[in-house]
Amino acid sequence: MRFASLLLMQIGLSIFSATSCAEEPSYKFTTGWYSTQGANQSYSHGVDLNLRRSTQDSNTWMAWYQSLEQDLRQPRVGWDSALSIQNLRIQPSLQAASGGFVGGSLSVETGESWFVGAGIGRTNLKPYTNLNFDPNDAWMASGGWRWSEHHSLSMQVVRDNRLNPDQQHVHLIYRAPVNQNERLTLDVLEKSGLVQDLYTRRYGLSFGYEVSHFFVRVAYDPVVNFTPQTMWRLSFGTRF
């Protein structure tokens, strides 16, 4: 898969160049554990390992997801960036995975204390382990208030606009510093749309906490990816 190969090459070049620079790069390693059950279906779980390198204006990452019960393994790679043009902040992203999957998104945001944004995501509809959990082929709108870099309250709407235009996520996200080395994130999620031809509305919740270079996140996600099953997620890791 040529696209995935190019992304892997970019990640490798980024890591190599980082070791030859005086300035230390910023890395983030995350382990995710996903437990899915309910709807009279067999219990399954999955594990995902993700290594991300961040520079001043972009991120490159590689990841591996595996679920023994589903006999599923999928490596993934990705890139995203943040560009500033006058009063606009433009954020493109690209992802690729085994099986021929390719996807991307483009969003634009403006404003300082008060801010608004909009975006769109597209894929080639190849099989993909969606650990983003929002619809990938969708439009997005957001807005909120930012007290500081790590203190904000925002709302984001993500609505499928391709295969399942009835499916929608609404996030209410609060981020706050606890002290100089600790931060928390609270995400309240409303999900609505058809699940097995029945209109369904459910609510999810995730809580994240970061202290120094370590972080943990716990999430409850009903009708995950608009299936009748419920998922619990635990993610933890470190920055170095």
CA torsion sign for 196, 197, 203, 209 is: positive
Contact 194, 167 (CB under 8 A): yes
**Is residue 220 scored above 70 in pLDDT?**
yes
State residue 41's pLDDT score: 82
Q: Is 14 helix (H, G, I), strand (E, B) or coil?
A: helix
Over residues 32-47, the pLDDT tens digits come to 999 999 888 888 999 9
Looking at every residue in the chain, the average pLDDT score rounds to: 91
% of the chain surpassing 90 pLDDT: 83
Indicate whether this model's pTM tops 0.95.
no
pLDDT, tens digit (0-9, with 9 covering 90-100), for 48-92: 999 999 998 899 999 999 999 989 999 999 999 999 999 999 999
Query: 2-239 falls under which CATH superfamily?
Result: monomeric porin ompg (2.40.160.40)
In this model, does residue 111 exceed pLDDT 70? yes
Q: How is residue 225 annotated by DSSP?
A: G
Indicate the residue type of 221. D
Residue pair 11/61 in contact (Cβ under 8 Å)? The answer is: yes
DSSP string for 142-207: EEEEEEETTEEEEEEEEEE-SS-TT-EEEEEEEEEEEETTEEEEEEEEEEEEEETTEEEEEEEEEE
pLDDT at 24: 52
Domain parsing of the chain, residue ranges: 2-239
